[in-house]
Amino acid sequence: MKKKLLATVLSAVMAVTMMAGCGSAASSESGVKGVARTEEAATEVANTEVAEAPAADPIPASDEASGDVTIWYYWETAGHQEALDHIIQEFNNQQDKITVQAKYVPFADFKKQLSIGASAGELPDLVILDNPDHASYAAMGIFADITDRFDVSSYYPGPVNSCTLDGRLYGVPFGSNDLVLFYNEDMLKDAGCEVPTTWDELLDVAKKTTKGNVYGFAHCALQNEEGTFNFLPWVWSTGQTSYEINSEGGIKALEFEKSLVESGAFPKEAINWTQGDTMNQFISGNLAMMINGTWQIPTMREEVPDLNWNVAPIPQDKQQASGLGGENYAVIAGGNEEAAIAFLQYATSGDTCLYMMDHMGYISSDSRIAENQFKGDAVYQVFVDEMQYANARGPLPEWPDISDAISLAFNKVITGESAPADAAAEAQATIDGILGN
Amino acid sequence: MKKVKEFFRYENAGLLFILPAFLYMLVFVGYPILSNLILSFQDVSVKNLVKGTKHFVGLSNYVTMFQDEVFRKAMGNTLKFTIYCLIFQFIIGFLLALLFNKNFTFAKTVRGLTMIPWMMPMTVTALMFKFMFSTDVGIINYILKSLHLIQQNVEWLTSPRTAMIAVVAANVWIGIPFNTILLATGLTTIPQELYESASVDGASSFQQLIKITLPLLRPTIESVLVLGFIYTFKVYDLVYVMTEGGPVNSTHLLSTYSYKLSFDLFQYSKGSTVANVLFLILFLVGLLYLKITMQGEDE
């Protein structure tokens, strides 16, 4: 009798656990629905905006290109999703052979979904992915070789390089962004500081602007690709490459990070902040300065129109340096390649590309378009100028492992687990192991 | 023919009834386990996931992993995490169960309310604790400071020494209701007469607890602990959202490390090796649980 009661409760408990499982599945599904809804909303916007939207170039679709094209992307910002949806609607309305559909996959799941899709043979026709991961997937063999099928001669070499593996082109740069120093003009003025241009000045200004709840300076320092992206400009500024951490420059960069943390001007919690979190701290007035990227500008202008902020090149050691970020388009091998390329031709053509870039706050990777972008916008101009000093990560199929070693090193330094020299030596051992040195 | 007929006799009909469930288990549980096992004996990485030959490398992935510093750390962390969680969940859960066993007003209502932590989606709980444990604006530091227990803010989630405490605290909070509800149900099955006669004989409440409650509750306690072990050992989402295994790998569990290897670093075979170690340990604990429940039924 007692046993039975216990058994009943146990099974009830298990049933609840299972329901809890379903619950989370249902909620993630509703998340997808939420996106679908914003897509619908975007469609409405698109329909009302058709009249004033830039006229797209005629589509050079080849005869055999037809059928459905599915795109995977990971932008979570509503404005980004709406912009993509807008150009897709335009494309679908202009011709009746190809139907393009986009599916949102959260950034945290994106790589997992691609890997699972690759091993199960269930992939979309086109993906828009983070450029440091491009080489890994190209090496995996899931991207189509489009060397003679798409012309990238007018594109900047850095972004094109990120889609290239062994001299073959496996994608098209979507658009680029880079990192600069954002600063709160009022806070710097109150502390009587000028905009810092060197590491020493940055440390000095950061200390002076730290008071009460306000930290002087921060950048995203997560132990992942995002953190590596924000840390590497220090290394590059010393003249060293991403593969030379245990070098004079690499150690110097780690020591600089350490002095920032020890001065109390750099919050240790930045190791748990995404770039979005860092931006939120900045616009909430908890940060006087931060490193962040181009894509934050539209959000910041909308959220805090009254905040006095400006941008400047990242303070430097020996030379100016920034990180090159951005996404690439990649056509999936064995998918509807022709139709996907036809859409790519359309999406990267003059006005369509310009529309995407402007709505997303990206800099076009096509130099012909980028040169005419953001004319008269002083803030964006700083980013465009910084582009020529922006370094790419990789391209290397094993880049994720290299990046992991680097992010572990600066996390060890920030948390005080290791001295800069020790952390650098350890990271170098891992990197050398991967590169086979 | 006769044999076929014989097979379909009444006694064997039961086999037919379990056939659907068996097939389901074979496809949806058996196949993934098997394919994961095969993957861990191969050398699958970014280069040969889709194209190229996948060589069998024997046990070399297991050897590499057991030499891997992070793996050993994750293994130790998982055991530490599970044991600390079990101890605190059980003690607090047991005390609450004893409390709700007293029939005071609202006892039932409050007992129902304690289930809330368990019903809440894991990610919500994780984010909530992440905010609560934040160094400068977290409520935990605020309370500790107000009580003058600490002078300086504790860097809960940004120091490798304290991050585990924060993660354990969050998981204990989630696990308490599970312990409470099962133990409370177990308590209701103990006849009141035993306590009455014990108090007539002059047994103190502490003696009653040791001599009556605990022995009679033993089967429940065993189930609670073993199931708790299984639930806790494979925790993934809580840690992933709160710390992503950081800072400096100090909260990596086997589950989070396996995920990182497979889906961040593209080392699929190594990731599956870690997952298999996790599986093997849980499998052994599962067998233990079966043995305990079977013994219970024999008695």
Across-strand partners of A73?
A104
Better pLDDT: B152 or A196:
A196
Query: Looking at the complex, does the CB of residue B3 fall below 8 Å from at least one CB of chain A?
Result: no
Is there a domain that residue B248 lies in? Answer: yes
What pLDDT is recorded for position A22? 39
Is the residue at B25 inside a domain?
Answer: no
Condensed to tens digits (0 to 9), the pLDDT of residues A332-353 reads: 998 899 999 999 999 999 889 9
B28 is a domain residue: no
Residue B234 lies in a domain: yes
**Residues of chain A neighbouring B263 (CB-CB closer than 8 A):** 111-112, 115
Q: Is A155 helix (H, G, I), strand (E, B) or coil?
A: strand
Calculate how close chain B gets to A187, using CA atoms only, in Å.
20
Alpha helices in B26-68 (DSSP H): 31-40, 60-67
- The set of residues, in sequence order, having a beta carbon less than 8 Å from that of B198 and lying 6+ positions away, is B207, B208, B211, B212
Contacts for A434 with CB less than 8 Å, ≥ 6 apart:
A398, A401, A402, A405
pTM: 0.82
Mean pLDDT of the region B82-101: 94
Locate all alpha helices (DSSP H) within A104-224, ordered by sequence: 107-120, 134-140, 157-162, 185-190, 199-209
The per-residue pLDDT for range A357-385, each reduced to its tens digit, is 988 888 999 888 888 888 888 899 899 88
Single out the residue of B90, B116, B89, B112 nearest to residue B100, CA to CA: B112
The reported pLDDT for the residue numbered B260 is 93
Q: Average pLDDT of B202-206?
A: 87
Q: Are A396 and A164 in contact (CB under 8 A)?
A: no
Q: A416's torsion region: left (phi>0), alpha (psi -120 to 50) or beta?
A: left
Q: What pLDDT sits at residue A250?
A: 96
**Contact check, Cβ <8 Å, A115/B47:** no
Asked, for residue B186, whether it belongs to a domain, the answer is yes
> Which range is least confidently modeled, A23-27, A88-92, A285-289, A412-416?
A23-27
User: Sorting pLDDT into bands at 50, 70 and 90, what band is B250?
Assistant: very high
Range of the domain at B182: 64-294
Question: How does pLDDT run across B117-171, given as a tens digit for each residue?
Answer: 888 999 999 999 999 999 888 999 999 999 999 988 899 999 999 999 999 999 9
Q: pLDDT value at position B228?
A: 93
**In this predicted structure, what is the pLDDT of residue A51?**
37
* A27 close to B (CB below 8 A): yes
B202/B196 Cα distance (integer angstroms): 10
Both tokens of residue A401? 């492992």
Question: Bridge partners of A128?
Answer: A329
Of A317 and A368, more confident = A317
H or E element, residue B128: helix B122-132
pLDDT at A258 over 70: yes
Beta strands in A26-147 (DSSP E): 67-73, 98-104, 126-130
Classify strands A309-312 and A172-184 as parallel, antiparallel or unpaired: antiparallel
- Judge contact between A414 and A257, C-beta under 8 A: yes
B292 vs B236, higher pLDDT: B236
Please tell me if residue A207 touches chain B, with a CB cutoff of 8 Å: no
Calculate mean pLDDT across residues A132-156.
91
> Which pair of tokens denotes residue A172?
């098209």
Domain count, chain B: 1
Asked if the Cβ–Cβ distance from B264 to A400 is below 8 Å, we say yes
Say whether residue A339 is in contact with chain B using an 8 A CB cutoff.
no
Q: What is the ipTM of this complex?
A: 0.80
A65: its two tokens: 């290109």
Q: How confident is the model at residue A320 (pLDDT cuts 50, 70, 90)?
A: very high
Q: How far is C-alpha B119 from the chain's CA centre?
A: 16
Average pLDDT of chain B, as a whole number: 90
Q: Is residue B120 a part of any domain in this protein?
A: yes
DSSP lists the bridge partners of residue B56 as B42
CATH number at residue B267: 1.10.3720.10
* pLDDT over threshold 60, residue A245: yes
A292 sits in which H/E element = strand A287-293
Which H helix or E strand runs over A160? Answer: helix A157-162
Looking at residue A403, its amino acid is S
Residue B49: its pLDDT value, please?
A: 82
Q: Which of A229, A230, A234 is nearest to A251 (CA)?
A: A234
pLDDT at residue number B172? 95
Subunit contact B158:A415, Cβ cutoff 8 A: yes
Let me know: does A410 contact A229? Beta carbons within 8 Å: no
Q: How far is CA B178 from CA A64, B165, B227, in A?
A: 61, 20, 10
A411 CB within 8 Å of a chain B CB: yes
The beta-carbon neighbor of B265 closest among A10, A137, A404 is A404
Mean pLDDT of chain A: 85
CA angle A86, A88, A94 (to 5 degrees): 105
Q: pLDDT-based confidence at B113, cuts 50/70/90?
A: confident
For residue B125, the model assigns a pLDDT of: 94
In a domain? residue B278:
yes
Give the per-residue pLDDT at A360. Answer: 86
Percent of chain B with pLDDT over 70: 95
The answer to whether the CB of A295 falls within 8 A of the CB of A360 is yes
Strands A67-73 and A126-130: parallel
The pLDDT score that the predictor gives to residue B14 is 81
A220 alpha-carbon distance from chain centroid: 12
Handedness of CA B258, B264, B267, B269 (dihedral sign): positive
Contact assessment for residue B144 and residue B154, using Cβ atoms and an 8 Å cutoff: yes
Name the 3-class secondary structure at B240.
helix
**Probe site for chain A from B266, B268, B270, B294 (most A CB atoms < 10 A):** B266
pLDDT surpassing 50 at residue A61: no
Count Cβ atoms below 10 Å from residue B54 Cβ, excluding itself: 16
pLDDT for the residue A387: 85
B131 located within any domain: yes
Region B225-248: mean pLDDT is 92
Q: What is the mean pLDDT of residues B197-206?
A: 88
Give which of A65, A71, A63, A60 is closest to A349, Cα–Cα: A60
pLDDT at A20: 40
Give residue B1's pLDDT band: very low, low, confident or very high (50, 70, 90).
Answer: low
Task: Examine the pLDDT at A39 and tell me if it is beyond 50.
Answer: no
pLDDT at position A372 is: 81
Q: How many CB atoms lie within 10 A of CB A198?
A: 13
Interhelix angle B69-101/B60-67, rounded to 10 degrees, is: 80
Choose among A3, A115, A404: nearest Cβ to B263: A115
Judge whether residue A410 has pLDDT over 60.
yes
Q: How many CB atoms lie within 10 A of CB B209?
A: 13
Residues of A in contact with B297 (CB under 8 A): 3
Residue B61, Cβ neighbours under 10 Å: how many? Answer: 23
- CB of A222 within 8 Å of a chain B CB? The answer is yes
